[in-house]
Amino acid sequence: MAHSMKGKVYLVGAGPGDPALITLRGLECIRMADVVVYDYLAADQLLHHRSENAEVIYVGKKGGDHTLSQNKINDLIVEKAEQGLVVTRLKGGDPFIFGRGGEEAEILAARNIPFEIVPGVTSAIAAPAYAGIPLTHREHTTSVSFITGHEDPTKEQSTIHWQALAETGGTLVFLMGVKNLSFIVDRLMEHGRPGTTPAALVRWGTTPMQQTVTGTLDTIVDRVKAAGLQAPCIIVIGGVVNLRETIAWFEASRPLLGKTIVVTRARAQASDFIAALSRLGAACIECPTIRVAPPDDTAPLDTAIDNLAAYDWLVFTSVNGVDRFFARLFEKGGDVRRLGHLKTAVIGPATEQRLLDFGVKSDIVPESFRAESVVEAFTRQDVKGKSVLLPRAAEARPILPEELTKMGARVDEVAAYVTRQDDSAAKTLTEALESGAVDMVTFTSSSTVKNFKALLPKDKSTADRLIKNVAVASIGPITTETAKDEGFAVHVTADAYTIEGLTRAIIDYFKA
């Protein structure tokens, strides 16, 4: 990529924690960046939007543990920009709300480096909103103040006007103040704020880890200690806190809130499943155990595509099979008109929909979604002497071609794709299991089971210890059988062998 003598820096607000709350402009800046410099509070999922070649640098600050000092962060940004690179500085919340974005912008201006400010949704507003606390309300308050709960320690004296804050009567929002909660409460009451004033702390607001503790100035310190609440937290003080009793929505409507679930699907397919679980409140760890790749030898698939006119039926047993078949068809210069004479069968609704995306409506969709059901559906068809093309995974179960052959069909089974082990998330997985944070692991195919096991430590006692208290959820009986064969205790098996069915089964499990 060609660059000018000086690059450009985008100071981007990453939002309050929920990756869906970043702005469209913020996403654009991540996608165009040569370098992404990101903070502790910037959601990791946002990094998936970067280009493959982008450099990623973590400079987070957590509880006094600073990866880089602010001065070194400034130097880093300047250095990269002066190399002619596009730098996206991804900051939690909004860059200009206690985010030190102003300091970084001053440095860039002093060095004549072009920059752009991209505002973000600040946690000061978003965390209370997700806790059901409106910061302003006509019947309660018409003003709101944002205050740092952690002033610059090098200051000679505080610039916080405690008397004015105590007397204003408006809503007070303190950021980064959980360690100083007792001090904040004491100062407000010393200056006249009543001890009966409602107060709340919201930890990890807008995320699946959100936790809210409410009380009054008299009681909030003890309640926070009892709950074990730690940073990052937003402190809200004022009468609006009482509205949470009526309009709390996020925590009440998320049946999987507080649950951490490992998704082992291939990265290209995981997004819909992760989105569904996230909407229900789960914190998802994306741990692809497989990746889908073209077969080592595409000649059999190419021959079948060249001879499509000789087939009567085209049968798909997965979304991947559909995608890889059509990808190869298009690469060879063909299109869907080549399929006009064919009847089609699919294994389930997801595969049916994917086939329909290419403009082809399936003639057979079985009632339950496994190879045996496809076989049963074909018993109602006259396939004797018919030619069937079955493009699918190289390592797929043999039951379908075997049974169709017994019915008198001529079956050509060709590899449309292979699944390879993906160990890119092995370190993340091991760290999560070691920390005890994982509540459940999900398996969506036999290959995800086998490759997940391969990511665990080779020492069996260590692997068993890591997985001991983790529930296992399977998409269907075939996957469950594989999981048991590999030594896993399976707690959930979906009745409907789809992502939707698995999601419903997971909800039912945690409700029980």
Which tens digit of pLDDT belongs to each residue from 24-48? 999 999 999 999 999 887 778 899 8
Would you state the pLDDT for residue 143? Answer: 94
pLDDT above 70: residue 198? yes
Would you state the pLDDT for residue 286? Answer: 86
Q: Which fold has domain 125-247?
A: 3.30.950
Would you state the pLDDT for residue 63? Answer: 55
Instruction: Give CA separation, 179 vs 150, 151, 175, 184, in Å.
Output: 9, 12, 11, 10
The string of pLDDT tens digits covering residues 50-67 is 998 999 999 886 655 557
Q: Which fold has domain 260-289+422-511?
A: Rossmann fold (3.40.50)
Residues 6 or more apart in contact with residue 460 via CB below 8 angstroms: none
The string of pLDDT tens digits covering residues 134-190 is 999 998 898 999 999 877 656 667 789 999 999 988 999 999 899 999 999 999 999
Write out the catalytic residue numbers.
39, 61, 176
Phi and psi at residue 189, to the nearest 5°: -70, -35
Q: 294-418 architecture in CATH?
A: 3-Layer(aba) Sandwich (3.40)
pLDDT above 50: residue 3? no
pLDDT above 80: residue 70? yes
In whole angstroms, give the CA distance from residue 225 to residue 295.
57
pLDDT (average), residues 66-95:
92
Q: Under a CB-based contact definition with an 8 Å cutoff, are residues 328 and 296 in contact?
A: no
pLDDT (average), residues 427-445:
91
pLDDT above 80: residue 126? yes
Residues 6 or more apart in contact with residue 502 via CB below 8 angstroms: 273, 442, 444, 473, 474, 475, 492, 494
Same topology between domain 260-289+422-511 and domain 294-418: yes
The domain limits of the chain are: 8-120, 125-247, 260-289+422-511, 294-418
Would you state the pLDDT for residue 159? Answer: 82
Which pTM was predicted?
Answer: 0.70
| 45 strand-pairing partners | none
Spell out the SS3 assignment of 109-164.
HHCCCCEEEECCCCHHHHHHHHCCCCCCECCCECCEEEEECCCCCCCCCCCCCHHH
Q: 8-120 architecture in CATH?
A: 3-Layer(aba) Sandwich (3.40)
